[in-house]
């Protein structure tokens, strides 16, 4: 079953292979490459491989992953969700938007929906977040969401250290 979350302006749903063209666009945005990394996805076949081995595999293994974020009219704006990395004890919040949708509050809205779902559906009490050392917009967003800076860590495959954040999620209804 495809995840379906709604917020005021957005829908979050599981990716499908039909999202490959959008993935090519998003993963080749200059900000994505600068702050998240170059995933080497340049065509539809590469995007399908990324989806199959990334989000779709994560849904099967963990029950969560990165989800497509669309406007309510179906316009794709980005991705947001939870990742389970081998080097972190808790899942971490991930998000990326197309540049034309930056600065409109969509990342905050999507992240808030993901965190609520993490607490209510999976019973998570702690979530991490990682951001590039030189990404002030992401640092600002994580602060607005209530995350606290923990330390700098060296992620496998990255030249520069990343900032590690943590958030304690309150119990549902509290």
Q: What is the pLDDT of residues 65-79, one digit of tens each?
A: 999 999 999 999 999
Q: How many CB atoms are closer than 10 A to CB 151?
A: 10
Structural domain contains residue 174 = no
Q: What is the mean pLDDT of the chain?
A: 94
> Residue 13: inside a domain, yes or no?
yes
Inside any domain, residue 159: yes
Domain that holds residue 121: 4-168
Residue 173 lies in a domain: no
In this prediction, residues 34-41 reach a mean pLDDT of 94
Residue 153 lies in a domain: yes
Question: Is residue 47 in some structural domain?
Answer: yes
Q: Judge whether 82 lies within some domain.
A: yes
Residue 171 has pLDDT above 60, yes or no: no
CATH of residue 21: 3.40.630.30
The answer to whether residue 9 scores a pLDDT higher than 90 is yes
CB 12 within 8 A of CB 81: yes
- Show the tokens assigned to 131: 């951001």
How many domains is the chain built from? 1
Helix axes of 44-53 and 20-27: crossing angle, nearest 10 degrees: 90
């Amino acid at each position: 079953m495809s995840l379906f979350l709604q917020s005021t302006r957005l829908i979050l749903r599981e990716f499908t292979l039909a999202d490959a063209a959008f993935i090519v666009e998003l993963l080749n945005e200059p900000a994505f490459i600068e702050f998240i990394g170059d995933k080497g996805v340049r065509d539809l076949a590469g995007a399908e491989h990324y989806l199959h081995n990334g989000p779709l595999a994560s849904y099967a293994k963990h029950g969560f992953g990165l989800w497509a974020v669309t406007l309510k009219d179906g316009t794709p704006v980005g991705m947001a969700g939870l990742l389970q990395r081998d080097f972190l004890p808790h899942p971490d919040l991930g998000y990326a938007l197309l540049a034309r949708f930056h600065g409109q509050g969509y990342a905050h809205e999507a992240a808030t929906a993901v965190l609520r779902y993490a607490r209510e559906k999976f019973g998570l009490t702690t979530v991490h977040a990682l951001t590039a050392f030189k990404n002030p917009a992401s640092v600002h967003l994580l602060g607005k969401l209530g995350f606290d800076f923990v330390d700098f860590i060296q992620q496998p495959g990255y030249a520069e250290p990343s900032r590690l954040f943590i958030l304690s999620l309150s119990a549902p209804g509290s």
